A and B are shown apart, each in its own frame.
Chain A
Amino acid sequence: MATQTQSQFNASLKKYYSFYTGGFIAFIIIVAILEQMGVPNKILGYIFLAATVLLYAGIGVMSRTADVSEYYVAGRRVPALFNGMATGADWMSAASFIGMAGTLYLSGYDGLAFVLGWTGGYCLVALLLAPYLRKFGQFTIPDFLGARYGGNIPRSIGVFAAIMCSFTYVIAQIYGVGLITSRFTGLEFGIGVFVGLGGILVCSFLGGMRAVTWTQVAQYIILIIAYLIPVIWLSVKHTGIPVPQLAYGYVLEKVTAREQVLNDPATPEGAREAEVRAIFKQRQEASEAKLKALETGGATYLAEEKGKLVQAAADLKAKPNADPKAIEAADKAVTDFPADAAAAKAAWKKAADGAKAKAGPIASHAEPFAGKDDEARNKKRKNFLALVLCLMVGTAALPHILMRYYTTPSVREARKSVFWSLFFIFLLYFTAPALAVLAKFDVYTLLVGSNFADLPAWVNAWATVDKTLMSITDMNKDGIVQLAEITIGGDLIVLATPEIAGLPYVITGLVAAGGLAAALSTADGLLLTIANALSHDVYYKMIDPHAPTTRRLSISKGLLLVVAVFAAYITSLKPGDILFLVGAAFSLAASAFFPALALGVFWKRANKMGAILGMAGGLGTCMYYMYMTYPFFGVNAPLWWDINPISGGIFGMSVGFTGVIVGSLLTAAPEKSIQELVDHVRYPNLEGDIKTEAA
């Protein structure tokens, strides 16, 4: 392939991937035919997952390489369009694919912070970083920090921050892999994690960035097909128009009208909703009363309550003709009773909060920052904008994304490539809000008001699989479904859309394959970033700069394996909340990298001391804030200006910028060679220029 010119290479890539897309569609059709012939769903699920993972492994094997430049930056010849697709897959994680539409379903306008943040950040990438990093043209982001600021300290902080945020993020991805594999194959979660990991490793282990790039392009194609088909179908079902993004405005109007009916106790349906809400209100008050009694009575109260339950169970058993089901329920109440005061407090608090959420009126989908008074609304607005900013700046600072712009053939292609990246990401992100509204319309009009005796098949199917995703109980015993009686978990929206739209199981399998593609592709990019930071930046640049190529690559591959297994191990312990992990990674990256990277290009005066202060201070501030305020760590210090822990990057970034500016101004301007480096990255081509590109 070495003799090929760039345009021939480009043309053959287009041919390969067109064949591939055609082949994939043919594969879907074959599976659809198998389904019609009566092959059971579980087998279809296996076929989908096995076929796609084998496909990725195949591309990995075909792209294996022992060349440093191929391994780290795919030989720097990935055309803009394909780098755009690869970045899209690298970017869109399990959280985007499965979680986003669900978040929008549950939180309406306020959920759009993720849509805005995860797309608008590319403006910063395009305008402030990508072309300059490409001109610099080495292998990793710490490479740039090391060269621009000089010395090992900025590079080391960069390595630490890159590992910190990539590792947080990769855990969320592997978690997604485990979830999908276990749900669609019936394997246990822990085993699912390691099976998925096998798929990730074959790919990145053999061919590094080169294999990851070409696999990611393939994964992008699968994930976008999988995302769009069910939504288009659902749109045709409800509007008759196959372009959901255009059609759903009018569906949103209907949803809003429906919200008003259901919130108005004067209408018959509204009255029934109010009845159910009153039941939840009672439960909330009961749980709150228990919490209060626990506070005053402590362990004594807990023992008394438990005693009552034990007594009730014993009384029931003493009766000669007691209903065995009632006895079972009474026994269960005893075994489920919280063991100590802390557990009781947590359980009852959860029950009170859950009931409280159901006791209030339905939040309007299209209304921004809904709240009971101006103070609550302003607090929401502040957090919305802070989150958008953190996600955007984090986008422009996550090393696994920035690294992708090292792989294009030129600065010109890097600029175009950011455009393609955002375009391909946009395709999914402007569909997600449409999916949320269409699904909501379906639930509000078809499910609400139907009889419990004949619920749609998908409701029963998902309610038996996972209670946290779908549960429905006839609270007021009227035999009719009220909205407040339905509990939907966010992830359900994407996973169940094919069934809601009345599509065959093959599409459900396709969606699972798409979710897996999203999680695997992001995990690939992240693991590679971590392994490269360790092998390239720490080992090659800091420990042994004379290491031969073969040793560098074998160390890189070895580390990849170690990091992957370690990440899978941590994931199998199921730490924390996925969305928080993802958000935390963005805040951390924004605080640590963005000020030093952007000022490094745009402000010649920025120097080593500034970078050290800014990066360490920014990262430190952000970590400190999250540690102090995120409930998981148990400190629960008061919030600063009501900003939620997920947006801690706001403070980190401010400290980061201040640190770079103050630190630089207090110490001498950088030497001439560094200033020349800045000029070098600013101009795509200069006569008599220095050379920084690493082959």
Chain B
Amino acid sequence: MQLTEKHKQYWQKNLRLTGILLAIWFVATFVIGWFARDLQSITILGFPFPFYMGAQGSLIIYVVIIWYYAHSMNKLDREYGVHEGDD
């Protein structure tokens, strides 16, 4: 089995997408968590911002990250002809 240039490109694209989404995940979790006390004065829907993120905002971001990954990878599979048969 020899990987073609196209296959390598597919994997590069996958790595880039994974990297970007992980960076968003990291910011939503750890950067906001680290600065939680400094962001306390911002209010959203009645919540202090860090509390809102910890209880709801970051969770929504996680759900969206996973949805977006599944959506774009399933599309990328087809583009690069590495998708599975339909069943």
Residues on A lying within 8 angstroms of B by beta carbon are: 5-6, 109, 112, 115-116, 119-120, 122-123, 126-128, 131, 245-246, 249-253, 366-369, 377, 381, 384-385, 388-389, 392, 409-412, 415-416, 418-419, 422-423, 426, 429-430, 433-434, 676, 679, 682-690
- B: contact size bracket: 35 or more
* A423 to B11 alpha-carbon distance, docked (Å): 27
Q: Decide if B42 is an interface residue (CB 8 Å cutoff).
A: no
Residues of A contacting B33 with CB < 8 Å? 116, 381, 384-385, 388
Cβ contacts under 8 Å, A119 to chain B:
58-59, 62
16 A-B pairs, CB-CB below 8 angstroms?
A116-B58, A123-B22, A123-B65, A126-B69, A131-B73, A249-B44, A367-B48, A368-B40, A369-B36, A385-B34, A389-B30, A412-B74, A415-B73, A426-B63, A679-B1, A686-B82
Contact B66 A418 (CB under 8 A): yes
Q: Are A127 and B59 within 8 A (Cβ)? A: no
Q: Whole-angstrom distance from the CB of B48 to the nearest CB of chain A?
A: 5
Residues B54 and A116 in contact, CB atoms below 8 Å apart: yes
Interface of A is mostly: helix
Q: A366-B51, A419-B67, A422-B66 are in contact. Are A410 and B87 (CB under 8 A)?
A: yes
Task: State the Cβ distance, B58 to closest chain A Cβ, in Å.
Answer: 6
Q: Judge whether B3 and A419 touch: CB under 8 Å.
A: no
Contact B69 A685 (CB under 8 A): no
Task: Please name all residues of chain A whose beta carbon is closer than 8 Å to the beta carbon of B29 when the two chains form the complex.
Answer: 116, 120, 388, 392
Determine the distance from Cα of A429 to Cα of B87 in the docked complex, in whole angstroms: 33
Q: How far is the CB of B77 from chain A (nearest CB, A)?
A: 5
Q: Are B62 and A123 in contact (CB under 8 A)?
A: yes
Q: How far is the CB of B45 from chain A (nearest CB, A)?
A: 4
Q: Report whether A688 and B21 are in contact in the complex, using a CB–CB cutoff of 8 Å.
A: no
Chain A residues near B1 (CB, 8 Å)?
Answer: 676, 679, 686-690
Whether B59 lies near A429 (C-beta < 8 A) is yes
- When each residue 45-87 of chain B gets 1 if its CB lies under 8 Å from chain A and 0 otherwise, what string results? 1111011101110111011011101100110010000111101
Residues on A with beta carbons closer than 8 Å to the beta carbon of B46: 249-253
Interface residues, chain B, CB within 8 Å of chain A?
1, 3, 7, 10-11, 14, 18, 21-22, 25, 28-30, 33-34, 36-37, 40, 44-48, 50-52, 54-56, 58-60, 62-63, 65-67, 69-70, 73-74, 77, 82-85, 87
Most buried by B among A123, A131, A686: A123
Contact A366 B62 (CB under 8 A): no
Most chain B CB within 10 A, of A249, A369, A384, A679, is at: A249
Tell me the minimal C-beta distance from A330 to chain B in angstroms: 49
Please indicate the chain B residues that have their CB under 8 angstroms from the CB of A377 in the complex.
37
| Partner of B87 from A5, A126, A422, A685 at Cβ < 8 Å | A5
Asked whether B10 lies within 8 Å of A422 as measured between CB atoms, the reply is no
Residues of B within 8 A of A245 (CB): 56
Q: Is the CB of B67 within 8 A of A249?
A: no
In the complex where A385-B33, A388-B29 touch, is A682 in contact with B56 (Cβ < 8 A)? Answer: no
Task: Report the minimal beta-carbon distance from A647 to chain B, rounded to whole angstroms.
Answer: 14
B77 near A412 (CB under 8 angstroms)?
A: yes
Docked pose: A415 CA to B71 CA in angstroms: 8
A115 to chain B, nearest CB (A): 6
CB-CB < 8 A to B70: which residues of A? 126, 415-416, 418-419
Chain A nearest CB from B73 CB (Å) reads 6
* A252 to B40 CA separation, bound complex (whole angstroms): 14
